[in-house]
């Protein structure tokens, strides 16, 4: 059975994000085909997709390599995400389904419970699920695609610590869901903008370059 290129693309992207393939590392078709048990054809297609997404770059005489983003590029990603997350929340307030609300409320209950218990690992996973669901509730395929790609890249470039005050952070999640449930798009937008701006402080840059550090605390998630 032929494994589709999108499945190979996901596998390679996951390995880049998790650090299996480090920045600047070569990505030969032969090596990748052996690793994932596929032919070179889906690998070649996957590498083209990942290059368009910014995870891979092609170098003369070296071929495909893992991209080496600069600190400025990483900071820009957080800023773009800061702009798009509030937009998604505002659209969710207008377009969400009852199923989305049920999931969001359930995640808030779990998050608040885990926050009180200090279960940091659970909180990171729940927080990611919350924001993914909020984006899905926007019922905007283009926006969902953009934010999904941004989340992959932010996860690649940044390590995320547990917020210093997780109870307060999950209270903010709850307030966002309340605004979405009421259909108050402007309130959902404002609350989400404040939340993602404050959350920038728990992001630590993984990718280091020779460029000077830049301030990422002003925006992002």
- pLDDT one digit per residue (tens) for the chain, 221 residues: 567 888 999 999 999 999 999 999 999 999 999 999 999 999 999 999 999 999 999 988 889 999 999 989 988 998 999 999 999 999 999 999 999 999 999 999 999 999 988 776 778 889 989 999 999 999 999 999 999 999 999 889 887 766 678 899 999 999 999 999 999 999 999 999 999 988 877 777 876 543 443 333 333 34
Task: Count how many residues are written for the chain.
Answer: 221
Q: Are 16 and 66 in contact (CB under 8 A)?
A: yes
**3-state DSSP assignment of residue 65:** strand
pTM: 0.81
> In sequence order, what are the residues at sequence separation of 6 or more whose Cβ sits closer than 8 angstroms to the Cβ of residue 203?
78, 154, 158, 159, 160, 161, 216, 220, 221
The first and second tokens of residue 188, run together, are 């959902």
DSSP symbol at 221: -
How many Cβ atoms sit within 10 Å of the Cβ of residue 160? Answer: 15
pLDDT for 210: 39
How far apart CA 46 and CA 8 sit, in angstroms, is 6
d(CA 138, CA 153): 21
What's the pLDDT at 207? 60
Q: How far apart are the first and last CA of the chain?
A: 40
pLDDT at position 2, please? Answer: 65
pLDDT of 213 reads: 38
- Residue-level pLDDT at 165: 85
């Amino acid at each position: 059975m032929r494994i589709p290129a999108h499945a190979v693309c996901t596998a390679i992207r996951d390995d880049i994000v998790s650090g299996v393939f480090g920045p600047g590392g070569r990505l030969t078709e032969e090596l990748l085909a052996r690793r994932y048990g596929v032919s070179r054809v889906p690998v070649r297609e996957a590498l083209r997709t990942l290059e368009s997404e910014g995870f891979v770059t092609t170098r003369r005489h070296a071929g495909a390599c893992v991209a080496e983003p600069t600190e400025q590029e990483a900071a820009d990603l957080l800023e773009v995400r800061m702009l798009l997350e509030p937009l998604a929340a505002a659209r969710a307030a207008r377009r969400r389904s009852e199923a989305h609300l049920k999931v969001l409320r359930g995640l808030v209950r779990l998050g608040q419970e885990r926050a009180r218990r200090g279960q940091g690992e659970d909180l990171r996973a729940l927080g990611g699920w919350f924001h993914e669901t909020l984006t899905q509730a926007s019922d905007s395929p283009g926006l969902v695609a953009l934010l999904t790609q941004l989340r992959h890249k932010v996860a690649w470039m940044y390590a995320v610590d547990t917020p210093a005050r997780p109870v307060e952070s999950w209270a903010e999640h709850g307030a966002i869901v309340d605004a979405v449930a009421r259909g108050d798009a402007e309130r959902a937008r404002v609350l989400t903008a404040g939340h993602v701006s404050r959350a920038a402080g728990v992001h630590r840059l993984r990718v280091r370059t020779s460029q000077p550090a830049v301030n990422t605390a002003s925006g992002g998630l």
